[in-house]
Amino acid sequence: MTSTTRAWIHGRLFGACVSESAGDRPFDVVPLGQGRFQLIDGGRRRTAFAVVAGDAWVFLDGRVFVVPTSGQTTRRVSADDATALMAPMPATVVSIHVAPGQRVDRDALLITLEAMKMELPIKAPRAGRVTSLACHAGELVQPGVRLLEIDYGT
Amino acid sequence: MTSTTRAWIHGRLFGACVSESAGDRPFDVVPLGQGRFQLIDGGRRRTAFAVVAGDAWVFLDGRVFVVPTSGQTTRRVSADDATALMAPMPATVVSIHVAPGQRVDRDALLITLEAMKMELPIKAPRAGRVTSLACHAGELVQPGVRLLEIDYGT
Amino acid sequence: MFKRLLIANRGEIAVRVIRACREMGIESVAVYSDADRMSLHTTLADRAVRIGPSSAAESYLSISAIIDAARSSGAQAVHPGYGFLSENQDLASACVDAGLAFIGPPADVISTMGSKIVARRIAREAGAPVVPGETPVDQSDQAIAAAATAIGFPVLIKPSEGGGGIGMKEGHAAATLSAAIAQARREAIAAFGDGTLYVERLIAAPRHVEFQVLADHHGQVLHVFERECSIQRRHQKVIEETPSTVMTPQLRARMGAAAVAVARAAGYRNAGTVEFLLEGTGDSARYYFLEMNTRLQVEHPVTEQVAGLDLVRAQIRIASGEPLPWTQDALTQRGHAIEARVYAEDPISHLPQAGPLLLYREPSMPGVRIDSGVAEGSKITVHYDPLLAKLVAWGETREIARRRALAALRAFPILGIKTNIPMLVELLQHPRFVDGALDTRFLDVEGASLAARLSTGPTPDVLAVAAAARATTATPAAGGASRDIDHSSLDPWTSLRGVRV
Amino acid sequence: MFKRLLIANRGEIAVRVIRACREMGIESVAVYSDADRMSLHTTLADRAVRIGPSSAAESYLSISAIIDAARSSGAQAVHPGYGFLSENQDLASACVDAGLAFIGPPADVISTMGSKIVARRIAREAGAPVVPGETPVDQSDQAIAAAATAIGFPVLIKPSEGGGGIGMKEGHAAATLSAAIAQARREAIAAFGDGTLYVERLIAAPRHVEFQVLADHHGQVLHVFERECSIQRRHQKVIEETPSTVMTPQLRARMGAAAVAVARAAGYRNAGTVEFLLEGTGDSARYYFLEMNTRLQVEHPVTEQVAGLDLVRAQIRIASGEPLPWTQDALTQRGHAIEARVYAEDPISHLPQAGPLLLYREPSMPGVRIDSGVAEGSKITVHYDPLLAKLVAWGETREIARRRALAALRAFPILGIKTNIPMLVELLQHPRFVDGALDTRFLDVEGASLAARLSTGPTPDVLAVAAAARATTATPAAGGASRDIDHSSLDPWTSLRGVRV
């Protein structure tokens, strides 16, 4: 169900659509400077921290959330098909375990990366067929760039 | 003796006239963000903090300096004739001990202010004659505003 | 245990109590004046109630506003902190009348120990020495001189109803006493409308040594050792430490027992402090009961660091009816702790300062604790006392604690208003402080030489940093990130590009 | 004492050693790779020397670069920290050859205790129990099965030359052992080129309990009690504490004596740690020597907080030839300390994270110590391990320390990269952690349920804060001050001005 979250900010009331039920009283959010915010919910006060760097990063009660600019959906924590085939961070390609044309099962190990002294396995999010490779062993790869292509339809 | 203090800042060399002898090697000042600066003097490294709010405030080794925008002289800590007759901070006038026309000696108590639970005496910086009063008992006075005028020439 | 607790205070002590509540699972309720609408203590509490305009008289000193706030917020207990209403028996009574637990002693004990004369009598009867003195019934000059001679010179002559040092005159011999008596009487009448004089022995260069006591509602009273607070300016403490450098185990046992005896005799409950003047050194040093503070002290953290316990938690537990979890023998001292009070004041003139904390970064290092009521961006106003933070350094030895405090103060940048940190840095390096050769006149005697060390202007290295700040920072006032150089704002520095030197 | 000391490390441990030097009046020399040109440890030291490019192999792991830096900077001693070259006997030798004091044990002791087989033999000879096990001379399936039967099931079969958990197989009965043997042998050959197998008793759910030892150059060896480090993921510790919840005075005395005996037998000097596996509870619990770490541990602060001493200072004093200032009997434990390691890693997937610390604010509250190697604005790179900071909470009891750690983690905002703080917050509230019912498989068993609690999306309160951040802050990424609303940037929030709700 889509409903509206509302908040007083600097004496003005704002609303945003969120995909879960919100309370029927608006929050009061007071910027305190230096990324600190006072969040008042009924009588209860909490201190939150937030910065905007494209997405908004929010710290509240020991949890951290990355709220994307679109604001209406939240970034999924579990990787989707596209990001699953990218390096999560700058990393070195240690080894490539598949070749173009090869069929792979779900969770098959495709590529092994290394970053910060740790091995990072890149696995197939679903069964499919490798159509092309976009990296080679020893290469330093950046996040957000697809390492290989899989056709899930065949 | 006037000499030049020099510093590397962001790879460019700057100089300023200062009224004391400076070393013959320029400082290297590297901004670290958030008001932090690395000060390198020969091989020695120190961390300084600074903000600019009109004047530049600098913290180094536990000392704080307010460097005025003119840069070439430093703000005097001891009050001069003019600022001596001003409230140092927002304060309430408790009592006025002199009247216009009255002659006063050096260090004579002129006005008693109160701020932050403390009494602040305003004393005559030099001998002179009170020419006018610009405040009254009970008034909340602001810093930078003269509380009374003294003619030191008579 | 209480579910919800209201803190009738502001600043660092309100923050301290809020933190204790959070750890104990108690909901905290702050109160705030208009000036403190978004102050640190207001924003950190679970709830907050406005109690009036900025003036303390109409907010933090208003008993009715505090009681109303406690009632409306559903609090079960009130912690008064220190200062404000903390030693006001009417607040304690009003709490009881409203069915609220007051976290402190009963109202009648506050009243009893608030009277210096009654407190002195209780102390003397409990076996704690007091400074010899009396208010002669016959107030003639001759009778006062006779009393002085009986007490023994040097003496202090002061208004019987007085306080705050007003009208206090020293007398060093019977022959020269009449001028001092006349002057004291004149000032007593002017200030208090009563010329009655009190004569007591003058303790020439005493130390201020106080004992922390804790008393529960089950008959247990114990002390948590001493604090030395000799570094003070006009009765405002600046540096406190524990142990005292002159304390011996034997003297500590005697003074601690005296403090406990006074608390017992007064029917004391909760945390309190028995203050003494200490004269001399070693087992034979003489101590004199001065007064009892019926509240938590500003300097309580040094005791916490060395005794390894939490006095605010203990206060709350005592008030909720729990017995003290320690016996006297179970308490031990470990290492040394020094507290330096960071005030918003000019380090030379000592004038309090108001303004914004453009940059405020607390040092974070092993053995250093900061109790603070402000954050970067806070505005310091003229309405309340200028204490910003307390820096407490613990070390295995006094010398380690001292060096640690020094290192921490040198890494505690506060910009936008002046603070006493530069003075504290000099003070901690003063040879007499290093040696622990302290007395309550330390700052009177050494203050000028300390100030002199601070009167030098900025050195070239400071000017270089100032220039860099001007050259690189677009909004440094807010502690923002550095930006590319704005080449239009480089004045007064001249670009020397291309000039190798 | 040394005049100048070089720290052959980076990050929080380099900062820790720099601070100790500053308090001791020793000049500190940092070393830095290109990635660390303006990192916190580089900027805090009195001097700093570049030792190579960002790759650790060419900088922090280069013995020649470290020795050159020490020589060129005029340092008299080298502190290796932990990790990197701290357990490399060649660095220790090279220091001695260059006339530098190495702050750690002699090179031959590093070498001796670095060999698990030799260390095990020394421990056994010193009377410290080891996990029963052997490398059968006859490596046939039958002989290995016979060895397993002699040791007693369950057993662990693992490559004799192995490490890191590779090729380790459990065996629960002689009848089903041959498959495990075959598989372990196959993996051993694949991974190490040698199929020789080692059989030892499987300790099913042990605790990791280690003892801190200190040994000076005057024959004194003592222990500074235990640390429990059972909360680990793939041998990376996450939470450490002292005392251990299962320790009894009698067991502590036995294990401590065993740790001291091992250190003595090894000819140990300086600070080291003897690790044990602990099985069972109470006085009758069984402990087995695991290995000795010949360096300072990451988790040394919990010992410092509870024992009330400074291990880094002790290391430096020992290396300079001073005798230990304590005897075993003079050391005491007070209260409880818990360390939570804050890693730059995704709290669910545990993948290390790189990026800028857009906002980084350390909590400051009584009883909480933060040892950190970063500051707001620091950039976390892929080159080194992802430890950002260690949060150490001390309390009179374990429960107070736990609540304090929890309160501090909830007030430790780090934005810009993901950290494990959300996971630590859940972990500290897990019923088994609250009860102290720990073993080294804790995270294997409970990790999934902890992660599940973190997989929920942002709640409306979080979205409200996100909207406020977008609406109010011009340069919030740098933690700048709030500004007036930029009304053009309010999307996706819709102004509801005039709509009262």
What is the tens place of the pLDDT at every residue in D8-62?
Answer: 999 999 999 999 999 999 999 999 999 999 999 999 999 999 999 999 999 999 9
Cα–Cα distance, C496 to D22 (Å, whole number)? 35
Chain D residue with CA closest to A60: the answer is: D462
Retrieve residue C355's tokens: 């303004």
Of residues C385, C458, C477, nearest to B51 (C-beta): C477
How confident is the model over C171-212, as pLDDT tens digits? 999 888 999 999 999 988 888 888 899 999 999 889 999 999
Tally C-beta pairs within 8 A across B and D: 30
Compute the distance between CA of residue C93 and CA of residue C108 in angstroms, rounded to an integer: 9
Inter-chain touch C358–B39, beta carbons under 8 Å: no
Report in angstroms the alpha-carbon separations of D499 from A6, B154, C459, D486. 11, 68, 58, 20
CB contacts, 8 Å: D377 with chain B = 32-34, 36
Q: Which two tokens stand for residue D403?
A: 């609540």
Distances, alpha carbon D373 to alpha carbons A57, D20, D42, in Å: 22, 14, 10
Helix (H, G, I), strand (E, B) or coil at C169: strand
Q: What is the mean pLDDT of chain B?
A: 76
The DSSP symbol for C489 reads G
Mean pLDDT of D455-482: 71
Q: Which of C455, C468, C499 lies at the smallest CB-CB distance from B29?
A: C468
Contacting D residues, span 454-483, partner chain B, CB-CB under 8 Å: 478-479
Mean pLDDT of the D462-477 span: 74
CA distance B90 to B138: 13
Q: Tokens for B50, please give them.
A: 């600074």
Residues of A in contact with D497 (CB under 8 A): 12-13
Tell me, yes or no, if D448 comes closer than 8 A to chain A by beta carbon.
no
Residues A114, D42: Cα–Cα separation, whole Å: 27
Q: For residues D480 and C479, is the Cβ–Cβ distance under 8 A?
A: yes
Contact of D354 with D380, CB cutoff 8 Å: yes
Average pLDDT, chain D: 91
**3-class state of residue C232 by DSSP:** strand
Q: Cβ atoms within 10 A of the Cβ of B110, count?
A: 22
**Contact (Cβ atoms closer than 8 angstroms) between residue A44 and residue C46:** yes
CB contact under 8 A, A47 and C376: no
The answer to whether the beta carbons of residues D467 and A9 sit under 8 Å apart is yes
Quickly state the pLDDT bin for D495 (edges 50, 70, 90): very low
* Partners of residue B58 in chain C, C-beta under 8 Å: 415, 458, 462, 465-466, 469
Q: Yes or no: say if C102 and C90 are a contact pair by the CB < 8 Å rule.
A: no
> Which pLDDT score, from 0 to 100, does residue D483 have?
34
Pair D43, B32: CB distance under 8 Å: yes
Residue pair A122/A147 in contact by the 8 Å Cβ criterion: yes
Q: Residue C256, Cβ neighbours under 10 Å: how many?
A: 22
Determine the pLDDT at residue B83: 53
Alpha-carbon gap, residue A132 to D319, rounded angstroms: 59
Contact D463, A67 (CB under 8 A): yes
| Helices C177-192 + C141-151 axis angle, to 10 | 110
Query: Are residues C263 and C211 in contact, defined by beta-carbon separation less than 8 angstroms?
Result: no
| Residue of chain C minimizing CA distance to A45 | C46
Does C310 contact D367 at a Cβ distance shorter than 8 Å?
yes
Q: Which residues from chain D sit within 8 angstroms of residue C332, using beta carbons?
A: 334
d(CA D306, CA D337): 6
Whether the predicted pLDDT of D498 surpasses 50: no
Instruction: Using the predicted structure, report yes or no on whether residue D453 has a pLDDT greater than 60.
Output: yes
* Residue C228 pLDDT exceeds 90: yes
Mode of pairing for the β-strands spanning C77-79 and C101-102: parallel
- The pLDDT, as a whole number, for residue A73 is 35
Cβ-nearest to A49 among D359, D409, D497: D359
At residue B87 the predicted structure's pLDDT band, cuts being 50, 70 and 90, is confident
The alpha-carbon gap from C473 to the nearest alpha carbon of chain A, in Å, equals: 16
Q: Mark which residues 349-388 of C lie under 8 Å from B by CB.
A: 349, 351-354, 358-359, 361, 382-386
Q: Which residue among D295, D317, D398, D402 is the active-site one? A: D295
Contact C481, B89 (CB under 8 A): no
Structure confidence at residue D58 (pLDDT): 95
Q: What's the whole-number mean pLDDT along residues D436-452?
A: 94
Rounded to a whole number of angstroms, the distance from the CA of B150 to the nearest CA of chain C is 23
Q: What is the pLDDT of residues D221-237, one digit of tens each?
A: 999 999 999 999 988 89
What length does chain C have?
501
What is the band of A85 on the pLDDT scale with cuts at 50, 70, 90? Answer: confident
Contacts of B114 in chain C (CB under 8 A): none
Nearest CA distance, D354 vs chain C (angstrom): 19
Closest partner residue to D358 among A10, A51, A77, by Cβ? A51
**Three-state secondary structure string covering D285-321:** CEEEEEEEECCCCCCHHHHHHHHCCCHHHHHHHHHCC
Strands of D152-310 (E only): list them. 155-159, 169-171, 197-201, 207-215, 221-233, 236-242, 270-279, 286-293
- Interface contact D473-A35, CB threshold 8 A: yes
E strands, C367-436, where?
368-372, 379-380, 387-395, 414-415
Length reported for chain D: 501
pLDDT tens per residue across span D270-318:
999 999 999 998 898 999 999 999 999 999 999 999 999 999 999 999 9
Residues of C in contact with B48 (CB under 8 A): 461-462, 465
Q: Which residues of C touch B91 (CB under 8 A)?
A: 382
Query: Are the beta carbons of C171 and C216 closer than 8 angstroms?
Result: no
- The shortest C-alpha distance from B44 to chain D (Å) reads 5
Decide which of D236 and D108 is more confident: D108
pTM: 0.84
A27's CB contacts (< 8 A; 6+ apart) are A5, A6, A7, A8, A39, A40, A41, D460, D461, D464
Q: What residues of D are in contact with residue A63 (Cβ under 8 Å)?
A: 422, 425, 454, 462
Report the mean per-residue pLDDT for chain C: 91
- Residue of chain A nearest C478, judged by CA positions: A34
DSSP state of C352: B
CA distance D393 to D370: 9
B56–C455 C-beta distance less than 8 A: no
Q: Residue holding tokens 């060895």?
A: D147
Judge: C43–A47 Cβ closer than 8 Å, yes or no.
yes
Contact C38 A32 (CB under 8 A): yes
DSSP string of A73-130?
S---SS--TTGGGBBSSSEEEEEE---TT-EE-TT-EEEEEEETTEEEEEE-SSSEEE
Cα distances (angstroms) measured from residue D96 to each of C226, D93, D213: 48, 5, 23
Count of CA atoms in the C-beta half-sphere (13 A) of B41:
17
pLDDT digits (tens, 9 = 90+) for D383-400: 999 999 999 999 999 999
B36 touches chain D (CB under 8 A): yes
- Residue D470's pLDDT band, with cuts at 50, 70 and 90, is confident
Residue B72 has pLDDT above 60, yes or no: no
Measured CA to CA, the distance from residue C212 to residue D129 in angstroms comes to: 49
Whether the Cβ atoms of residue B40 and residue B30 lie closer than 8 Å to each other: yes
Contact D396 C310 (CB under 8 A): yes
**Considering only CB atoms, which chain D residues are within 8 Å of B38?**
38, 43
Q: Which chains touch B (3 or more CB pairs under 8 A)?
A: C, D
Q: Binning pLDDT at 50, 70 and 90, where does residue D149 land?
A: very high
Half-sphere exposure of A80 toward its Cβ, with a 13 Å CA cutoff? 4
| Whether residue C295 lies in the annotated active site | yes
The pair of structure tokens assigned to D17 is 């050693």
The Cα A97–Cα A103 span in angstroms is 12
CA gap A93, A142 in Å, rounded? 10
- pLDDT at residue A138, as a whole number: 83
Q: What is the pLDDT of residue A13?
A: 60
**Band of residue D188 on the pLDDT scale cut at 50, 70, 90:** confident
D377 part of contact set with chain C, CB < 8 Å? yes
Substitution target in A2, A55, A118 with the highest count of D β-carbons within 10 Å is A118
Count Cβ atoms below 10 Å from residue D485 Cβ, excluding itself.
21
Q: Could you tell me which of D155, D123, D456 has the C-alpha nearest to residue D290?
A: D123
Selecting from B34, B44, B45 the residue whose C-beta is nearest the C-beta of D43 gives B45
Chain A residues within 8 A of D418 when measuring between CB atoms = 64
- Strands B109-115 and B118-123 turn out to be antiparallel
pLDDT for D29: 98
C190: which DSSP letter?
Answer: H
CA distance D446 to chain C (A): 25
Selecting from C349, C425, C495 the residue whose C-beta is nearest the C-beta of B62 gives C425
Judged by average pLDDT, the poorest of A39-43, C80-84, C162-166, C299-303 is C162-166
Q: Does B32 touch chain C (CB under 8 A)?
A: yes
Q: Taking CB atoms and an 8 Å limit, are B45 and D478 in contact across chains? A: no
Which of D392, D366, D269 is closest to D323 using CA atoms?
Answer: D269
How far apart CA C482 and CA C473 sit, in angstroms, is 5
Cβ within 8 Å of residue D295, ≥6 positions away: D80, D81, D82, D86, D87, D104, D271, D272
